[in-house]
Structure 1
């Protein structure tokens, strides 16, 4: 198993699931508790506003490998047999058919296999994901020698048609994601290694502080941001999808992994209630679909807001600055519907 990218944000709704699984302390020990969100003008370098993050320490900046490792250890400890290097080519007759022809049957097959899900294709057909008009670079900046203690804040740097997100990890490294609007994605495949100089040129006109961060990039990945529409059906009698396989979202609300954690909890709870499996899967979908659609819409809105130009951009930065001075805590309240929900207390 390997992770694509580097950092990940676990927000209070995702931490609620990790805590219910007994993994909260391990996650907190591996991550850095986020304290604030800073919104900056990427052209001037000015920090327009600083907003406290909700959750009382339950908002984590974490390396993806650390999250994968703690989930892996917990699954093994619970007796789960994990088999790697086994690629599912298709589903047929209620069985997963692997590359090479081996067939594996199960009472329930779950597809948590991401944007290009084989299980999703089985359930809803072979539609390809669509390009959202945005390209992203992801890099992990090496820690500085004798660094100051990291300021546990996520920063959003806004520029016309572009934005950059940075936040620190526990070991002093910095996770960086840079996004630029682009009319088409012509490369073969959706994820590639890229030359750091390409990234630096794409953001060369931004403020010195941000350019200095980009100068520290030694390795970078680039990918086109693609999505599927959320399907009307997430399951059949013995098969279901969850996470990005069901509802891929743009990475502008830090919710991909958190929504997947919620999905897993709700699905497991409904199946554990007993009764007919197809009815349990229908309850799972009914509970999850409205919430993930709302989260996707909110992430799409952020994409538009981050890339404003001209007068709308100046007005947005002025409004954020005013909110940061007058009611900084209130700014994040618009996402209380998202962060405050604890699915482990439902049902």
Structure 2
């Protein structure tokens, strides 16, 4: 190990994971978190086999299951009118060591915080980082005027990362013309252990169970011209959500009718950063490569980043490790981002010949070649960063 200490800015999934791996390798790690405590608002996420591989390598998969993670049986594409199945991606056809889980984000955060503390990671809460300076000993400038220094500073602080303009200049994010609502509702409909993607004209609804199947996580995406701010915590009126999805029937209508609290955020497309690292400062997760939520890979990419970054730092001198980390990760995250964008187009087809033909093709592929259908995701789910070539 070429370094003895590190600072991680941001106490989210990627930040906590990289802090834990580095600390287990003997690095003295401090996490700077701007909030008064590390917690997450109620929301679900999907941990696919590639992300689970990192949690398993950290011996945290059992703890996550113990907190009510639901093993996913399938991803089902459904039509919006009557909920008719268009296609089914059978997750039980994955390789024996590959599992897929639906989890509550707060539960994963709690598991990662506990692991970080066991590894002797230090935490500074209410710690607002303002900017940083790369160098032989990078400096984090705090909003109160104080400074922090470490041999490596990992910016795991999300899409508005303070490191991004330092390393790349001003961002060029653009509103995608899509907004998304998030909500949790009681599972009174006996939602199966599946992710349902209910597809309608210009919009779609994703639902899956979390917390041992007691709750259903909802993500509803609509195309619209009106700009909306980024960020998950903008409260909205549930009636606006129901109005936008008024044509959705069957189980989708039932779930939407149960929404009492909902948040809305605008989806913005940020380019993959050209430069992820320089002179001891490095970005991971959304700070380096934000992705739209149409492939459920944001958390999984952050977990992969965390492992690869820590692994390179364990084996190479600092600057060589950081440069190799970007080279190792960039092509993969670009492929994931492109695949996510393609899904958005497929989910929102308008009635007409194109939609009819597309859905017919999905139905045939699902019925006639279910093994081939899940096999098309081997490049994504079968990728295990914890196994060196």
Q: Which TM-score band applies after superposition, normalised by the shorter structure?
A: over 0.9
The reply to whether residue 45 of structure 1 matches residue 83 of structure 2 is yes
Whether the aligned pair in 2 keeps the contact of 1:131 and 1:184 (CA below 8 Å) is no
Shift of 1:204: 0.5
1:213 to 255, 259, 264: 255
Alpha-carbon separation, structure 1, partners of 2:388 and 2:42: 32
1:180 and 2:222 aligned: yes
Residue equivalent to 2:48: 11
Conserved? CA contact 1:191–1:221, under 8 Å:
yes
Task: Specify which of 352, 372, 378 is matched with residue 330 of structure 1.
Answer: 372
Match of 2:9 in 1: none
Q: How far did residue 189 of structure 1 move?
A: 6.6
Residues 43 and 183, structure 2, Cα contact 8 Å, conserved in 1: yes
CA shift for structure 1 position 270 = 0.4
Which of 284, 287, 295 is matched with 1:245 structurally?
287
| 2: CA distance, partners of 1:190 / 1:254 | 15
Q: Which residue of 2 aligns with 1:80?
A: 121
1:344 equivalent in structure 2: 386
TM alignment of 1:1-347, pairs within 5 A: 1-30=38-67, 31-53=69-91, 54-56=94-96, 58-92=99-133, 94-144=138-188, 148=190, 150-169=191-210, 170-187=212-229, 191-275=233-317, 277-309=318-350, 310-346=352-388
Q: Give yes or no for contact 1:139–1:175 (8 Å, CA) kept in 2.
A: yes
TM-score (norm 2): 0.85
Instruction: Report deviation, 1:240.
Output: 0.2
Decide whether aligned partners of structure 1 residues 43 and 131 sit closer, same or farther in structure 2, where only a CA change above 3 A counts.
Answer: same
Q: Which runs of 4+ in 1 moved over 3 A?
A: 186-191
- The Cα of 1:128 is off from its aligned counterpart by 4.5
- Deviation digits for residues 295-344 of structure 1 (CA, Å, limit 9, x no counterpart): 00000000000011122111121111111211123212222101101100
- For structure 1, which runs of at least 5 residues remain unmatched after alignment? none
In 2, the alpha carbon distance for the partners of 1:343 and 1:143 equals 35
Query: Contact between 2:139 and 2:150, CA under 8 Å: does it hold in 1?
Result: yes
Segments of 5+ residues of structure 2 without an aligned counterpart are 1-37
Q: Matched residues in 1 for 2:89 and 2:259: separation?
A: 27
Tell me the secondary structure at the aligned position of residue 178 of structure 2: strand
Alpha-carbon distance change, 194 to 251 in structure 1, aligned in 2, over 3 angstroms: same
SS at match of 1:295: helix
Shift of 1:185: 1.1
Per-residue deviation, residues 153-202 of structure 1 (Å, max 9, x unmatched): 11010111000000011141000000011224155877511010000000
Q: Secondary structure at the match of 1:109?
A: strand
Aligned-partner Cα distance in 1 for 2:224–2:102: 28
